[in-house]
Amino acid sequence: MEPAVVCNNQSNGDDIIQWFEDVSENAELVQTQTLRRILELNWGVEYLKKWLGDVEIDEVDECALESLYTSLVPLVSHADLEPYIQRIANGDSAPLLTQQPMTTLSLSSGTTEGRQKYVPFTRHSAQTTLQIFRLAAAYRSRVYPTREGGKILEFIYSSKQFKTRGGLTAGTATTHYYASQEFKIKQETTKSFTCSPEEVISSGDNKQATYCHLLLGLFFSDHVEFITSTFAYSIVQSFVTFEELWRDLCIDIRDGSLSKRINVPKVRKSVLDIISPNPKLASKIEAACEELEDLDWFGLVPKLWPNAKYVYSIMTGSMQPYLKKLRRYAADVPLVSAEYGSTESWIGVNVDPCLPPEDVTFAVVPTFSYFEFIPLYRHEQDCNLAVDDFIEDKPVPLSQVKVGQQYEIVLTTFTGLYRYRLGDVVEVAGFHRGTPKLNFICRRKLILTVNIDKNTEKDLQIVVERGSQLLSKSRAELIDFTSHADVVNQPGHYIIYWEIKGDVEDMVLGECCREMDASFVDHGYVVSRRSNSIGPLELRIVEKGTFKKILEYFIGNGSALSQFKTPRCTSNNVLLSILNLCTIKRVYSTAYA
């Protein structure tokens, strides 16, 4: 079922695509086999014994095993498995979730739910990461071929690995991956090397790492074949930093020196070992930046990295709001949306890299995990007693999903998660041979609710998009946003926080606020606004740099910049106090007045 791990460039791409075409064609069978493999590997672990008792696996055929498993093992959330994971973290070495002893735990970003979670990580996790990266690279190189031996400007960051009470290594999944053998194998097999040395990636100081990524990316500018990061946010942030620091970067390129702001000795040494004085390049970049400044940095990517074929990163879901800014930087350089996965498991690959990020879908890789899909239906008018955001049906296997239907994904992984609700809502857009192509819709959890209203991250995103379009009247732009449902003051109401670049008249802000309030189409919200059981929407403008402070707060609590996603709704007291202290203006909606 697995593709050959290492082979070289061109044939490599064709091999892995052929492998994927085959497993997609037979996705139904491959899923049944994948479940059997997971269960064979972990048969007898405490958790499975609890549900499956002493059934002999060898006596059950594949199809019977699938129905036995899904009828006896319950659907769970992370909270249900947490006691087991905590025992593992505390050093219990009995086979609890997996037969192989667990030596590593990953931290999910937690920025979507506000709390980081431990998730099991095994060698299999790093191997599937390598596999999906190679597969995705093969599809990309069909459309956008790159030169062998070229460089990649990667805005990637490891956070610190640490030991749990029981002595297991813990850190983010990306951190484990960058430290793994597989990361080196990826560079060697694709014959493309990241501009920055390992010391920069793992420096532990994101500001210093960003400066070095930019410096080395510029130093190798003619060799850079594409620009990437895990989430689009990091690329945008790095270019915003570039707008501020390009003069210092040019000095370092001219003199072969390194700014004093880089004070981690091993990082300094690793960078200084690479760069050398290049006055000609420095002058070229300076001239380009002076021109770019006048254009408000439109076309920064092609101007500074003339051989870059594309910009590659996760641009869907909560990253969509950064697309506008990224498009300005990239101008005519294509934006390619990266794969869909989570700390728990990789899920799908972008097999149509030439599609714009808004239209991208992810073809599920049926060997990575055993996938189930819970059909979700929106409540219609009856919202009075609704406690949840969707009505659910019984989960179906991958082979039974329907085009146009929305589902929550359930995972059974090689790392010991059994029928685990991921909390993501996806929609089936079509099929790639026999495997579904998914549209990422949003996180399942309701984010904004005061009483009977129900609005998801996606709903909020649409509303903010509409409101912020009016900013163009003032030639201003939205930098970032979040929200909060204030239920302390009566009547409760939504607060949307905006950080904007440029000066905007109060009248325009008032229009933006009104537009957003009127754009929430959820029936519960509309009814409540009409009856004033939800008060007028409030728009709070925060000062420049507020969202950087939020990022720093998360990083200070162990999140990795590579995984950071701005929480689109928060009730976290620290975050709210940062936002409220930084508020410089408040505007109330006049819609429904």
Q: Which residues bind ligand AMP (CB under 6 A)?
A: 108-109, 314, 316-317, 339-343, 422, 424, 440, 443, 563
Q: For the chain, how many residues are written?
A: 593
Q: For every residue of 112-137, which 3-state class applies, written as one string?
A: CCCCCCEEEECHHHHHHHHHHHHHHH
Residue number, 322 or 440, with CB nearest to ligand AMP: 440
**Nearest distance in Å: CB 117, ligand AMP:** 8
Which C-beta is closer to ligand AMP: that of 32 or that of 361?
361
Q: How far is the CB of 125 from ligand AMP (least distance, A)?
A: 11
Measured between alpha carbons, how far is 132 from 177 in angstroms, rounded to an integer?
A: 13
Q: Are strands 346-349 and 340-341 parallel, antiparallel or unpaired?
A: antiparallel
Distance in Å, CB of 540 to ligand AMP, minimum = 26
Taking the complex as a whole, the smallest distance from the CB of residue 103 to ligand AMP amounts, in Å, to 20
What's the closest the beta carbon of residue 133 comes to ligand AMP, in angstroms? 13
Kindly give, in sequence order, each residue whose CB lies less than 8 Å from that of residue 86, ignoring residues fewer than 6 positions away: 118
Report, in Å, the least distance between residue 588 CB and ligand AMP: 32
**How far is residue 350 from each of residues 133, 137, 138, 269, 314, measured CA to CA in Å?**
11, 10, 11, 38, 10
Identity (one letter) of the amino acid at 40? E
Token pair listed for 419: 């029928």
CA-CA distances (angstroms) from residue 234 to 111, 393, 477, 502, 567?
Answer: 15, 38, 18, 22, 15
- Looking at beta carbons only, is 78 or 514 nearer to ligand AMP? 78
Cα–Cα distance measured from residue 208 to residue 202, given in angstroms and rounded to the nearest whole number: 11
> Nearest Cα to 138, choosing from 15, 50, 242, 22?
15
CA 469 to the chain's CA centroid:
25
Q: Which of 79, 110, 82 is nearest to 560 (CA)?
A: 110
Of the two residues 32 and 131, which places its CB atom closer to ligand AMP in the complex?
Answer: 131
CB of 418 to ligand AMP, least distance (A): 18
Question: Least separation, in Å, of the C-beta of 136 and ligand AMP?
Answer: 11
Q: Which is nearer to ligand AMP, 32 or 343 (CB)?
A: 343
- Least gap, CB of 275 to ligand AMP (angstroms): 33
Strands 224-231 and 151-155: parallel
Nearest to 232 by CA among 349, 140, 321: 321
Which residue is associated with the tokens 């991921």? 422
Beta-sheet strand order (sheet of 224-231): 193-194, 151-155, 224-231, 310-314, 335-337
User: Given the complex with ligand AMP, which of 197 and 341 has the nearer CB atom?
Assistant: 341
Residue placing its CB nearer to ligand AMP in the complex, 213 or 565: 565
Q: How far apart are CA 412 and CA 367, in angstroms?
A: 11
Of the pair 76, 272, the CB lying nearest ligand AMP is at: 76
By C-beta, is 12 or 106 nearer to ligand AMP? 106
Query: Which is closer to ligand AMP, CB of 36 or CB of 443?
Result: 443
Q: Which is nearer to ligand AMP, 227 or 587 (CB)?
A: 227
- The DSSP letter of residue 76 is B
Using alpha carbons only, give the angle 511, 513, 517 rounded to the nearest 5 degrees. Answer: 115
Give the C-alpha separation, 191 to 162, whole Å: 31
Which of 280, 304, 282, 281 has its CA nearest to residue 291?
304
Minimum gap (Å) between residue 563 Cβ and ligand AMP = 4
Shortest gap between Cβ of 229 and ligand AMP (angstroms)? 13
Residue number of the CB atom closest to ligand AMP: 317
CB of 119 to ligand AMP, least distance (A): 8
Nearest residue (CB) to ligand AMP, 115 versus 280 = 115
The burial of 106, by beta-carbon neighbours within 10 Å (0-12 exposed, 13-18 middle, 19 or more buried), is given as: buried
